[in-house]
Amino acid sequence: MRQSFSVDPDIMERIDKYSKIRGIKREEAILELVEAGINFTEGGGEIKIENKRSYEESYKIRKDLENLQRMMHEMKNQIHDIQIISESNSRHIIEILPKDKKDKPRKKGFF
């Protein structure tokens, strides 16, 4: 029987390490580990499973981070564009103001 499933990258590394130590293919290593786990539980052993994130959760988090990075990059570009427009507009305003208004010191702050 053939079976397909997702495996966390950390688990795959452990399986690959096991297969190298035993000198067998990855598929054979997976079968040995599954059989050993079944024999262990049938013999009264209890398998403790760590509450790690599943592969799907890790994948979703990774995609969300990529989207967040993309949005931050777009925001950075938009802020840059706003700064350029703002600088351009302030130069035009200065050129339009009468000479006596140009000589007055500007107030600090927004208002």
Q: DSSP readout, 22-46?
A: HT--HHHHHHHHHHHHHHHHHTT--
Cβ distance 22 to 29 under 8 Å? yes
Mean pLDDT taken over the chain: 80
Its sign, for the CA torsion 75, 81, 87, 92, is negative
Q: Which residue has the higher pLDDT, 27 or 6?
A: 27
For residue 64, the model assigns a pLDDT of: 92
CA–CA separation, 53 vs 61, rounded Å? 10
CA–CA separation, 1 vs 3, rounded Å? 7
Structure tokens at 23: 């000198």
**Model-level pTM?**
0.44
CA–CA separation, 16 vs 95, rounded Å? 71
**Mind listing the pLDDT tens digit for each residue in 44-86?**
888 777 766 677 787 888 899 999 999 999 999 888 888 888 7
Phi (first) and psi of residue 90, to 5 degrees: -65, -35
